[in-house]
Amino acid sequence: MRFLLVEDEAVLREVVQNSLIQAGHRVDAAATAEQARHLWRVQPFDAVLLDLNLPDANGLDVLREQRKRGDRTPVLVLTARNRTDERIAGLDAGADDYLGKPFELAEVEARLRALVRRAQGAEDRTEVGGLLLDRRARRLFVRARGAGPPAELELPAREFEVLLELMTPPGRVVNKQTLSDKLSGFDDALGHNALEAFVSRLRRKLHGSGATIRTLRGLGYLVEPEKGGAE
Ligand code: CA
C-alpha cells in the first residue's frame, strides 16, 4: 500500500516511515502542512497518517481542506494520549480513526490496514482459480488438487502488494501507472520495462496455482483463473 505520513518530529517520522517500508509499503513523508497539502493533491494514497501539531498549521486544517475537496482517503490521526478534545476534533474534521502517542509501531500498520480494508469494503478472503488471498493475515495459499490443505505461497513484500492490488477486487484491469505508483516512492518512479519484468516474475511464481496475470496490451494487468488450470 502507499501511505502519506505527516509528522514534523524527525526521529518519529523516520522510525514510522522505516517500519512501514520494512512491512512492504511505500511511504511519502511530509514534515509540514504545506508539504502534506502538496503531496496529498498530486498523489493518491491508500491512507494518510496525520500528526496534528505541525509547525505551520494544525493537521486538522489540512484534513478539513481535503474533505471539502471531496477527498475520502482514510485518515489515521496521531493525537497526544489523554487528549479527548483532540480525538473528538479529529473525528469531527473527518478523520477515520486516531492513535494516541506514544504508540507501538506494530499498531500503526495494523490500524492503517484495517482502515484501508474498511474503505475498500474488501472481504477478508478472496479466491481466484486455486489462489486464496487472506487479507487479514496477509497470507496467500494455493489450493491443492484433490484433497489436502492449501499450501502457503510465500512472496516478497512488494510482490504481495501487487497481487493484493490486482485481487482487490479480482477480475478488474489495473493500469500500469497505478501499479508502478504503488511500487514507487515519490522520487523513484518504476519504469514500465521494470514493471513488466516484475509482473513476469510474479506470473511464473503463480504457475500451477490455477490463477494467472494476464496482460491487456495498452490497458494493464488482470488476475483471472487460468484456462485449463487447477479449477
Ligand atoms: Ca508534531
CA-wise closest residue to 60 among 29, 90, 97: 90
Average pLDDT over every residue of 13-36 = 95
Q: What span, in angstroms and rounded, lies between the C-alpha atoms of 214 and 229? A: 14
Structure confidence at residue 177 (pLDDT)? 82
Collect residues with CB below 5 Å from ion ligand 1: 8, 51, 53
Residue 141's SS3 state is strand
**CA 12 – ligand 1 centroid, Å:** 9
Q: Does 8 score more than 90 pLDDT?
A: yes
Q: Once rounded to an integer, what is the mean pLDDT over residues 192-207?
A: 90
Ligand 1: centre distance to CA 50 (Å): 9
Nearest Cα neighbor of 106 from 223, 231, 15 is 15
Give distance in angstroms: CA of 53 to centre of ligand 1: 4
58 C-alpha to ligand 1 centroid (Å): 9
Residue 229 pLDDT: 46
| C-alpha of residue 182 to centroid of ligand 1, in Å | 27
**Banded model confidence at residue 13, pLDDT cuts 50, 70, 90:** very high
In this prediction, residue 189 carries a pLDDT of: 62
CB 112 within 8 Å of CB 50: no
Instruction: Please give the Cα distance from 188 to 181 (Å, whole number).
Output: 10
Q: How far is the CA of 59 from the centre of ligand 1 (A)?
A: 9
Q: Using CA atoms, how far apart are residues 100 and 109, in angstroms rounded to an integer?
A: 14
Q: How far is the CA of 31 from the centre of ligand 1 (A)?
A: 9
Cα 29 to ligand 1 centre (Å): 13
Query: Ligand 1: distance of its center to the CA of 24 in Å?
Result: 25
Mean pLDDT value across the chain: 87
Task: Tell whether the model's pLDDT for residue 7 goes beyond 80.
Answer: yes
Is the confidence at residue 219, as pLDDT, over 80?
Answer: yes
If one compares 158 and 56, the residue with the highest pLDDT of the two is 56
Lowest-confidence pick of 24-33, 59-68, 116-125: 116-125
Please give the average per-residue pLDDT across 189-209, as a whole number. 87
129 neighbors 196 (Cβ within 8 angstroms) = no
**21 pLDDT tier (thresholds 50, 70, 90):** very high
Specify the higher pLDDT residue, 182 or 223. 223
| Interval between CA 13 and ligand 1 midpoint (Å) | 10
**Tens digit of pLDDT for each residue in 107-135?**
999 999 888 888 877 677 888 989 999 98
Q: What is the mean pLDDT of residues 53-71?
A: 93
90-111 pLDDT, tens digit per residue, is 888 889 988 988 899 989 999 9
Amino acid identity of residue 24, one-letter, is G
Q: What is the pLDDT of residues 167-197, one digit of tens each?
A: 887 778 888 888 887 777 544 667 778 888 8
**DSSP H or E run through 110:** helix 105-120
141: cell is 495459499
The vertex-59 CA angle with 76 and 14, nearest 5°, equals 65
State in Å: Cα 8 to ligand 1 middle.
5
